[in-house]
Amino acid sequence: MRREFRFRDSMQLGNWTFKIFSDGFFRLDGGASFGIVPKPMWEKQIPADGRNRIRVALRCLLAEGHGRRVLIDTGIGDRWDAKQREIYGMDRRAGQLLTELGDAGISRESITDVVLTHLHFDHAGGACLDMASGMAPAFPRARWWLQRAHWEWARNPSERDQGSFRPDDFEALADTDRLELVEGNVEILPGLRVSPVGGHTPGMQIPEFHTEDGTLVFLADLIPSVAHIHLPWVAGFDLNPLLTLSEKRQLLSRAVEDDYLLVFQHDPDHEACRVTFQDGRFQARETLTLNQSE
């Protein structure tokens, strides 16, 4: 049985405090989101609309601790015309993420670090703003953490995935001296490790906060929703689905063993869960509602 929890304001683990912020919702093709899984199976988990699209959350995580204020991913941003907003079923207010942060007393200037899991437009769309002087980083004082392998891929993607990248989302970061390109599994701040995975796109990185009170992992597109916990449920977007499968197995095995709290970026209904291995498969043991804005 799944139990429901709610953390009204924030959640503390060790010296880190976490809050969820939202850049709204959009919609993606349900078939593409579930790969080879037949629709009668996936639509029981996440229903499709009349155009076969599923609702997808655009969650970001704010982590404060050790004198740092860290934002994980930046949402989909505002640089979309009416036709694109309609195609992607965008359900968000203009500037939603920045407004939510501002309402919580968090200015753009106060963010010290941004960890970009990868540069797909629904993760990096809010990284840069269209200023009078051209594109500029939305968080002007932040250091920007990214895997070097992904940075290189995003600037020279394949024909298969080039539609997922918009160079205006990230090219302005190259003009700063605050782009931190890391290689491999690195502890970038005390307790915060970024773990590279390559099945979804080369050099995506999974932020993991390891504290004396437990571990919190932000799943990005490795496991986009509760439904994707089951190992064979891999999105058709993934460039290397067998690699995704083994990377999921590796992370979920650790998560069962050490009772990780797993945070979902895209699940429309659930913000986080813990997992168990039961009846021959990984399953959500508890789902949690953090302080998701209503």
Structure tokens at 8: 């009204």
Report the distance separating Cα 273 and Cα 283, nearest Å: 10
Report the distance separating Cα 152 and Cα 272, nearest Å: 31
Structure tokens at 225: 């929703």
**Mask of contacts with Zn ion, 213-242, x by CB under 5 A?**
--------x---------------------
Residue whose CB is less far from Zn ion, 57 or 106: 57
**Mask of contacts with Zn ion, 258-277, x by CB under 5 A?**
--------------------
- Are the C-beta atoms of residues 261 and 274 closer than 8 Å to each other? yes
**What would you measure as the largest C-alpha separation in the chain, in angstroms?**
58
Residue whose CB is less far from Zn ion, 191 or 199: 199
Residues 140-179 that bind Zn ion (CB under 5 A): none
Residue whose CB is less far from Zn ion, 11 or 128: 128
Task: Return the DSSP state at 114.
Answer: E
Minimum distance of Zn ion from residue 23's CB (angstroms): 14
Residue whose CB is less far from Zn ion, 56 or 128: 56
Q: Strands 281-289 and 4-6, how do they pair?
A: parallel
Residue whose CB is less far from Zn ion, 121 or 144: 121
- Cβ-closest residue to Zn ion? 120
Minimum distance of Zn ion from residue 204's CB (angstroms): 7
- E strand or H helix that includes residue 158: none
Residue whose CB is less far from Zn ion, 90 or 189: 90
Minimum distance of Zn ion from residue 221's CB (angstroms): 4
- E strand or H helix that includes residue 22: strand 16-29
Task: For residue 172, count other CB atoms closer than 10 A to its CB.
Answer: 20
Minimum distance of Zn ion from residue 81's CB (angstroms): 22
First to last CA, the chain: 25
Minimum distance of Zn ion from residue 238's CB (angstroms): 9
Residues 110-129 that bind Zn ion (CB under 5 A): 120
Q: Which residues bind Zn ion (CB under 5 A)?
A: 120, 221
